[in-house]
Structure formats: C-alpha cells, structure tokens
C-alpha cells in the first residue's frame, strides 16, 4: 500500500490546480478573454499595456507553438509551485492552509488575475530566502515578483521595513519591539474610530486627506482616488464595506495574537500578522482607489492563513477555533463576492 506524506499530497494538489487553471474557459471566467486578446496582440506585433513578463511569456509560447495556453501554463506553474514551495517549508499545517486558501476569494485570482497570483507566489518564495539570510536570492526573487506584477512592490518595501517592528537579540527573534507595539495600539484606536465614524459620518477626515493628497499630486495620481470619496451633494462617500469589515475582524485577530503571545515565536508568523493589519490601513485610507487598492489589500489579508497556522502550532484548540471562524467568514465573502462599493 502506497502512503503519501504531506509534501506528496501538496504536490498532487498543486499539479491538479495547474491543469485546471490552464484549461479554464473564458465563458466561466470573463477575464480569460482579455488575456487571450492581449496574447494575440503581442503575437501580432501590437503594443500591450502590461508587464514585460507577459510579453516575454507570450512570445515564448507563440515560438513553441503552444498558443495562449502556453502563457496560462507558465503563470500557473510559477504561481502554484511557488506557493507549494513556501507551504512545504514554512507552514505547520499545510492541509488546513490549502483548505482556507481554496475557499478564499484569492483562489479566483489564479483563474482571472494570473499575473497577480504568480507575482504573489514568487514573493512568498522570497520570504524563504529572507529567512535564510540569503540576501542575493531574496533580492532577485523580489525583483522577479515585481516584474510579474507591480502590486508586489509595497509588500517588498514593508518586508524591508518590518525589522523596525520586531525585537532581536544576537540575531534571535524575540517578539514585537516598542515601535511594533505602538503601531498595534494605534491600529486599535483607528479601528475604534472607524466604528465611531459609522455612527457619526461628520468625523470622517479621509475626505479632507484625499482632497489634499489629490491637490498636491494631481499631476501623477489618477482622478479615481479623489472621486471615489465623493458622494451626493459633494459629501464624503459612505465608508461601509463588507471587505473593510472583514479586514477589521482579521486585523483584530492578528492584533490579539501579536499582543497576547498567541503565536509561535517566529518572525514569519509575526510578519504575517503585520501584513493582515496593514490591509485595514489600505482599505481605510485608499479603499476607494479602485482595483489597485482592492487587489493590494486582498493580498495582505491572505497572510491570515499563516497567522492562524502560527496560533495552531502554539495552541491547537484555540488555533482551530479561530480557523473555523475565519473559514466561515471566507465562505460568506466568497458567496457574496462583495466589493468595496457593494454590500
């Protein structure tokens, strides 16, 4: 009788996902038609407004005679196996991580936003090299991830900034630094202020903030970052959002885990907690910016999977309880597919 270890099971799952992603249909996922059109434009010699990596993959696929399916395969291979590489080296319960990832909204990115999915996967690989202090490979993988999609650049910058929030002694990770604790407490205050704004909209200062930002940088910022905050009669738009509420809930879980020592003492778990918390700040300040802000915040939110893994490893009962709570929230979000502008 053949028995499979956890890595073999992950390998089988990732291989199946790649096959499913490559042969997905445009009828089920409308953005696929856009990728096919972009591919045809590249092959036809036209200029396409996308990353150079997509142009390169399209020309490689066309040269080898694989059509647009070759592009889908390249992105799927990079995206899925890079996540497999990360899970097999960092995550304590990879099966639970795969389950939570499977019911999250982000799994749709593998089908409709394959450039973002692949870029995020390569960034996860860079975390492995960062943990090993292999600076050259870390820099190379971060650059490659950014070339796949520009949304990875903020994650790379926050990773470089993250040591400010952590306390080390003789290169040994100890926990949150004073700056990190202050950041967590400020986030708690802002979450409370967010709920207060829901009852008293007059307290919403973001409209003034965005207006000043736009007036100062209107020559480079798109107009939607400004107009998204304007409602009827030139008043601030409503701040309520199901995804913002989700980010609040997941941020609270991460804050409690960080402050109360519920995570295993490892920088990857603490860094993941910070990433989840930053999703709240993104939604809070630039959520109305549109697709860019939404994709960026969703990537940050996805780190809750690693946070829960850290809690499970420290306290199995508590960790599994939080896991099923978040699993239920992801299922609701997947069904409603609520955007920032819709309930």
User: DSSP for 125-173?
Assistant: HHHHHHHTT-HHHHHHHHHHHHHH-TTHHHHHHHHHHGGGGEEEETTEE
| pLDDT above 80 for 147 | yes
- 172 backbone dihedrals φ, ψ, rounded to 5°: -100, 130
**For residue 209, is it within any domain?**
no
Domain containing residue 328: 152-204+239-343
Neighbours of 185 (CB within 10 A): 12
Q: What pLDDT is attached to residue 287?
A: 66
Neighbours of 110 (CB within 10 A): 25
Same domain, 10 and 132: yes
**For residue 48, is it within any domain?**
yes
**For residue 59, is it within any domain?**
yes
**For residue 230, is it within any domain?**
no
DSSP string across 211-223: HHHHHHHTTTS-T
Same domain, 190 and 338: yes
Whole-prediction pTM: 0.80
**For residue 211, is it within any domain?**
no
| pLDDT above 50 for 238 | no
| pLDDT above 70 for 237 | no
CB 69, CB 106: distance < 8 Å: no
Same domain, 309 and 177: yes
Same domain, 174 and 291: yes
Mean pLDDT of the chain: 78
| pLDDT above 60 for 134 | yes
Same domain, 9 and 144: yes
Q: pLDDT higher for 223 or 99?
A: 99
Q: What pLDDT is attached to residue 331?
A: 78
| pLDDT above 80 for 239 | no
Collapse the DSSP code of 29 into the 3-class scheme (helix H, G, I; strand E, B; otherwise coil) and give the result.
coil
Beta bridge partners of 176: 166
Same domain, 122 and 181: no
For the ranges 153-162, 283-292, 333-342, which has the lowest average pLDDT? 333-342
CA distances from residue 293 to 79, 108, 271, 331 in whole angstroms, order as listed: 21, 17, 20, 22
**For residue 228, is it within any domain?**
no
Q: pLDDT higher for 204 or 70?
A: 70
Number of domains in the chain: 2
| pLDDT above 80 for 276 | yes
Same domain, 158 and 122: no
For the stretch 13-57, pLDDT in tens is: 666 666 666 665 445 556 777 777 788 888 887 777 778 888 888
Q: pLDDT higher for 269 or 111?
A: 269
| pLDDT above 70 for 307 | yes
CB 79, CB 72: distance < 8 Å: no
Same domain, 85 and 196: no
Same domain, 93 and 111: yes
Whether the CA torsion 102, 123, 305, 298 is positive or negative: it is negative
**For residue 220, is it within any domain?**
no
Name the CA dihedral angle for 49, 54, 55, 56, rounded to a multiple of 10 degrees.
Answer: 160
Q: Average of pLDDT values for 111-128?
A: 86
For the ranges 21-30, 96-105, 186-195, 198-207, which has the lowest average pLDDT? 21-30
Q: Average of pLDDT values for 316-323?
A: 91
Q: pLDDT higher for 125 or 26?
A: 125
| pLDDT above 60 for 233 | no
Same domain, 90 and 157: no
**For residue 213, is it within any domain?**
no
Distance CA 270, CA 272 (A): 5
Same domain, 40 and 142: yes
CA distances from residue 181 to 41, 172, 184, 253 in whole angstroms, order as listed: 50, 18, 5, 15
User: Cα angle vertex 306, ends 302, 309, to 5°?
Assistant: 135
Q: What pLDDT is attached to residue 141?
A: 93
Q: Which residues contact 143 (CB under 8 A, 6 or more apart)?
A: none
CA distances from residue 45 to 42, 55, 62, 72 in whole angstroms, order as listed: 5, 10, 12, 20
Same domain, 188 and 100: no
Q: Average of pLDDT values for 327-337?
A: 74
CA distances from residue 227 to 195, 201, 322 in whole angstroms, order as listed: 23, 18, 38
pLDDT category of residue 187 using cuts at 50, 70 and 90:
very high
Q: pLDDT higher for 267 or 221?
A: 267
Q: pLDDT higher for 96 or 323?
A: 323
| pLDDT above 50 for 338 | no
Exposure of 53 in the CB half-sphere (CA atoms within 13 A): 17
Distance CA 272, CA 157 (A): 14
Q: What pLDDT is attached to residue 342?
A: 37
């Amino acid at each position: 009788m053949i028995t499979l270890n956890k890595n073999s099971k992950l390998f089988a799952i990732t291989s199946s996902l790649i096959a499913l992603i490559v042969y997905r249909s445009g009828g089920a996922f409308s953005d696929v038609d856009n990728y096919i059109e972009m591919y045809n434009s590249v092959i036809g010699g036209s200029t396409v407004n996308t990353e150079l990596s997509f142009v390169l993959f399209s020309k490689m696929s066309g040269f080898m005679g694989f059509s647009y399916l070759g592009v889908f395969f390249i992105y799927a291979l990079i995206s899925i196996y890079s996540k497999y590489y990360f899970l097999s080296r960092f995550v304590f319960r990879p099966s639970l991580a795969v389950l939570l990832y499977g019911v999250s909204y982000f799994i749709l990115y593998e089908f409709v936003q394959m450039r973002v999915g692949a870029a995020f996967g390569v960034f996860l690989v860079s975390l492995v090299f960062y943990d090993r202090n292999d600076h050259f490979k870390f820099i190379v993988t971060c650059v490659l991830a950014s070339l796949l999609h520009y949304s990875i650049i903020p994650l790379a910058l926050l990773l470089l900034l993250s040591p400010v929030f952590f306390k080390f002694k003789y290169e040994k990770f100890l926990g949150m630094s004073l700056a990190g604790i202050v950041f967590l407490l400020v986030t708690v205050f802002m979450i409370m202020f967010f709920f207060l704004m829901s009852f008293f909209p007059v307290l919403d200062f973001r409209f003034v903030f965005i207006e000043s930002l736009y007036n100062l940088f209107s020559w480079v910022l798109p107009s939607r970052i400004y107009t998204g905050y304007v409602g009827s009669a030139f008043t601030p738009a409503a701040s309520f959002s199901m995804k913002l509420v989700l980010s609040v809930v997941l941020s609270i879980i991460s804050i409690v885990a960080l402050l109360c020592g519920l995570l295993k003492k490892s920088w990857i778990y603490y860094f993941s907690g910070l990433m989840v918390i930053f999703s709240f700040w993104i939604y809070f300040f630039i959520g109305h910016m549109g697709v860019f802000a939404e994709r960026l915040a969703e990537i940050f939110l996805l780190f809750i999977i690693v946070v829960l893994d850290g809690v499970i490893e420290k306290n199995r009962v508590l960790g599994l309880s939080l896991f099923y709570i978040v699993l239920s929230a992801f299922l609701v979000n997947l069904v409603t597919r609520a955007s920032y502008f819709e309930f």
